[in-house]
């Protein structure tokens, strides 16, 4: 195997995008995946994927390799959240300025596009190759295939094999590897709102729809075929409404008629899909180091996060972007240096976005239903409009900029403390548009200087 041959584990979104970056650097790339090639099988993947929300960091990474125009037709812009109350009323909360949107995109078609682009550039993707083990001293890797075990010595390994990474498991057997995983109390189940009888969207297609109900929620994202992919987030057990207590169609109907009635009337296949689709868990993973010899963990393999900030894929794509920048800076023969610089640069940012994703879960299921939350967002939007450099809402810093996640998190905490004081005014609901906005900015600048 040549010196400039890179082995990538995992042919998902991050693995295939990284293969494209590396091919454009002139490197040889082989991608291994334990799953069969979905393009050649009729495997039904329904019920296993939350739609992705593509935002600035993801688009920037795709643009770098010339893929933005190919991806755009697969994506639908969502300009804000449409919050559904229990009586069927809705309120719209924009994500940012008028033209700012996050984009709903289906994982399967997106992944196929990236895989085909990687192959077009000369990367080889070998499916049905299950990673078994690696000897980090001599970079010998062992796969299980249909034909039996395959041993290979490979110069560089990149593990983009997801939240349950086999390469990370191999690293955990090494000394001094820090690892922490946390399953949240909630799981999720994928459902569908199909197009109307006329073939139209059943709801506004340019919004992310949320039914926040305190300890649980339903969300829906649009698809190009005029359907919506819905995700139901419930506790597994222990509360009045949880997966454990939905045992039959009657239980399911009671929950939906009570809490999501407007959605219920748009979901003719609800009962069939609910009992057919799996209930999946949500995990947060943090580990360090990400490097062992010439092997590196990338994307969810090093920092899997819960999906409540819509940044898992965007953060993984930014990993690819940053790694590529370091390769350009230090060359193709300095993997020790490149990998070391990469993990030191990215670790504080990925820790920050994992924490933000956890915190945003509470905001999505609880706060967005609170009328004061909508006022709070209006005040922040007004501050940003009047003082665009001094006050950037946290969501905008994370979603519509490439500011480091750690810096955005720190600035967001300062803003949160100031906004908590503003919102403590008992008359804020009546007087929010008469606030002294310059005084709020002065307090922000003072807090930054401390």
pLDDT tens digit sequence for 172-197:
998 799 999 999 999 999 999 999 99
- Three-class secondary structure of residue 289 per DSSP: coil
pLDDT category, 371, cuts 50, 70, 90? confident
Q: What pLDDT score was predicted for residue 153?
A: 94
Residue 368 and residue 212 in contact, taking contact as beta carbons nearer than 8 Å:
yes
Q: Is the peptide bond before 289 cis (omega within 30 degrees of 0)?
A: yes
Q: Are the CB atoms for 360 and 81 separated by under 8 Å?
A: no
The DSSP-derived string for 142-180 is EEEETTEEEEEE-SEEEE---TT-HHHHHHHTSTT-EEE
368: confidence class by pLDDT, cuts 50, 70, 90: low
Q: Which pLDDT does position 363 carry in this prediction?
A: 72
Question: Can you tell me the mean pLDDT for 42-66?
Answer: 81
CB-based contact 290:29 (threshold 8 Å): no
Distances in Å between the Cα of 235 and the Cα atoms of 160, 232, 260, 285 are 29, 10, 16, 19
pLDDT tens for residues 235-288? 999 999 999 999 999 999 999 999 999 999 999 999 999 999 999 999 999 999
Q: Using an 8 Å Cβ cutoff, are 50 and 190 in contact?
A: yes
* 147-164 average pLDDT score: 96
- Whether 335 contacts 385, CB under 8 Å: no
Q: Identify the residue whose tokens are 């709903």.
A: 104
Residue with tokens 């690293």: 171
**Quick check: 228 pLDDT over 90?**
yes
- H-helix or E-strand spanning residue 410: helix 405-423
Q: Using one digit for the tens of pLDDT, what is the confidence trace for 58-112?
A: 999 999 999 999 999 999 999 999 999 999 999 999 998 889 999 999 999 999 9
Q: Measure the CA–CA gap between 281 and 131, rounded to whole angstroms.
A: 23
Q: What does the domain layout of the chain look like in residue ranges?
A: 5-44+107-181+283-360, 370-449
Task: Judge whether 364 and 210 are in contact, CB under 8 Å.
Answer: yes
Would you place residue 362 in the very low, low, confident or very high pLDDT band (cuts 50, 70, 90)? confident
| CATH (residue range 5-44+107-181+283-360) | 3.50.50.60
* Owner of token pair 């009570």: 258
Question: Which has the closest alpha carbon to 304: 282, 279, 278?
Answer: 282
Structure tokens at 256: 């939906």
Q: What is the mean pLDDT of residues 314-332?
A: 97
Q: Give the pLDDT of residue 2.
A: 54
Cα–Cα distance list, 88 to 61, 215, 371 (Å): 39, 19, 16
Q: Please report the pLDDT score of residue 360 as a whole number.
A: 84
- 156 neighbors 205 (Cβ within 8 angstroms): no
pLDDT at 1: 46
pLDDT at 369: 66
pLDDT (average), residues 390-401: 95
Q: Give me the chain's average pLDDT, please.
A: 93
CA distances from 274 to 84, 107, 365 (A): 21, 20, 21
Q: Per-residue pLDDT for 123 more than 60?
A: yes
For residues 148, 152, 158, 161, the Cα torsion angle rounded to the nearest 10 degrees is 10
């Amino acid at each position: 195997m040549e010196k400039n041959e890179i082995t990538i584990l995992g042919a998902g979104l991050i693995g295939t995008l990284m293969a494209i970056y590396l091919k454009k650097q002139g490197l040889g790339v082989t991608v291994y995946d334990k799953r069969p090639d979905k393009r050649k099988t009729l495997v039904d993947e329904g019920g296993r994927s939350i739609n992705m929300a593509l935002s600035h960091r993801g688009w920037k990474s795709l643009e770098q390799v010339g893929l933005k125009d190919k991806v755009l037709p697969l994506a639908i812009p969502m300009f804000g959240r449409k919050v559904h109350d229990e009586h069927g009323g809705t309120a719209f909360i924009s994500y940012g300025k008028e033209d700012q949107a996050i984009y709903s995109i289906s994982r399967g078609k997106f992944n196929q596009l990236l895989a085909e682009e990687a192959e077009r550039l000369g990367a080889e993707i070998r499916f049905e190759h299950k990673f078994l083990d690696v000897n980090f001293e001599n970079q010998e890797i062992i796969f299980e295939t249909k034909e039996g075990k395959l041993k290979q010595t490979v110069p560089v390994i990149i593990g983009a094999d997801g939240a349950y990474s086999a390469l990370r498991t191999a690293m955990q057997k090494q000394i001094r590897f820090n690892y922490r995983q946390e399953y949240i109390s909630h799981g999720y189940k994928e459902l569908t709102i199909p197009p109307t009888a006329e073939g139209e969207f059943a709801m506004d297609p340019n919004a992310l729809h949320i039914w926040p109900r305190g300890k649980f929620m339903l969300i829906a994202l649009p698809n190009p075929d005029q359907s919506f992919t819905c995700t139901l987030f419930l506790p597994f057990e222990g509360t009045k409404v949880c997966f454990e207590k939905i045992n039959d169609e009657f239980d399911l109907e009671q929950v939906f008629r009570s809490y999501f009635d407007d959605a219920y009337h748009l979901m003719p296949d609800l009962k069939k899909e609910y009992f057919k689709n799996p209930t999946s868990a949500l995990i947060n993973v943090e580990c360090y180091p990400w490097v062992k010899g010439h092997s590196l963990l990338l994307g969810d393999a090093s920092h899997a996060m819960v999906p409540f900030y819509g940044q898992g894929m965007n953060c993984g794509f930014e990993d690819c972007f940053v790694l590529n920048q370091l390769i350009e800076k230090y060359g193709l023969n300095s993997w020790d240096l490149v990998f070391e610089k990469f993990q030191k640069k990215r670790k504080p940012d990925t820790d920050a976005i994992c924490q933000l994703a956890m915190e945003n879960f509470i905001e999505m299921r609880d706060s967005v239903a609170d009328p004061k939350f909508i006022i709070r967002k209006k005040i922040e939007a007004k501050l940003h409009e009047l003082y665009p450099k001094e006050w950037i809402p946290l969501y905008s810093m994370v979603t519509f900029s490439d500011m480091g996640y750690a810096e955005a998190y720190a600035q967001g905490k300062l803003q949160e403390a100031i906004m908590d004081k503003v919102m403590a005014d008992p008359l804020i609901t009546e007087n929010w548009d008469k606030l002294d906005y310059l005084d709020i900015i002065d307090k922000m600048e003072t807090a930054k200087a401390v």
